[in-house]
Amino acid sequence: MGRMKGRVAIVTGATQGIGKGIALRLASEGARIVFCSRNEARSEDVLAQIAARGGRGVYIRADLTQKDQAENLVAEAAKQFGRVDILINNAQSRTPPGTIMEKNADDFRGLFEGGVMGSLWTMQEAFPHMREAGWGRIVNFSSFSVSVGMAKKVDYNVAKAGIAALTKTAAQEWGRYGITVNAVCPAGANEAIQAFLDSNPAAAASIREEIPLGRLGDCELDIGAAVVGLVSDEMAFVTGHVLMLDGGGHLRPIAAAGKLPVKTASAS
């Protein structure tokens, strides 16, 4: 415990699901947390859970499809705590599933702005703080759906592929400043997915069969813990990677989206 003591971490899209799990795990390790979402309804609950872990948190309402709000998120974190050490770009807009022929420019634009551009803008704003400190950790979010070309998610696949490319390019350019940049592809059971699995035992059993470790990850204990490891000093020599945090699911390229509820609202 306490590996993140003294660090300031920004976690986007952290009022629920994987983002929340990561924020709580970082707080448990001593980091001060600045987190955001479009909807502040769950923010007080997350703040209370951060405090229960002995941490300190600040919530900022932000729509990361808007450049000024993405920049303000990072600027406010620096203002509140005097530094920015860790940036976790978890937020991502969503669209309903549809074939290539059914998708339109608005679908692509929304996912690109909510994922690639939102990540880019926060990274650009955080970079000067990390460069000055000579230390920084950035974790972006791609998806295993990119590698398998998951059907009816072409706009999402393209956006997540863009984030992987952004990650590798930043790792190339920023490594000289002591900044590592990696991406993760998590398979975590957020609240909606867990509720679906609890009420659909057949789907739950099918997923257990298709994932070598037999389950989806816990957002805090599995995904959050892995991200904490990735931003720790022990992983200072790891950069430019796109890591699968999926219990081995990528070894069996499945169309799991067909067995899980599709989330159409923004995750940010």
Among the options 156, 163, 171, 254, which is catalytic? 156
Q: Which CATH number fits domain 8-258: 3.90.850.10, 3.40.640.10, 3.40.50.720, 1.10.10.10?
A: 3.40.50.720
- What confidence tier does 1 reach under pLDDT thresholds 50, 70, 90? low
Share of the chain above pLDDT 90, in %: 80
Residue 194, H or E segment:
helix 191-199
pTM value is: 0.93
Q: What is the mean pLDDT of residues 220-246?
A: 97
Q: What share of the chain is helix, strand, coil (3-state, %, to 5)?
A: 50, 15, 30
Least confident of 1-10, 14-23, 48-57, 218-227: 1-10
Is residue 156 among the annotated active site residues?
yes
How high does pLDDT run on average in the chain?
Answer: 92
Q: What percent of the chain has pLDDT over 70?
A: 94
pLDDT digits (tens, 9 = 90+) for 40-59: 989 999 999 999 999 999 99
Q: In what order do the strands lie in the sheet with 136-141?
A: 57-61, 32-37, 8-11, 86-89, 136-141, 179-186, 242-245
Per-residue confidence at 256, pLDDT binned at 50, 70, 90?
very low
| Element spanning 109, H or E | helix 105-111
Domain boundaries, the chain: 8-258
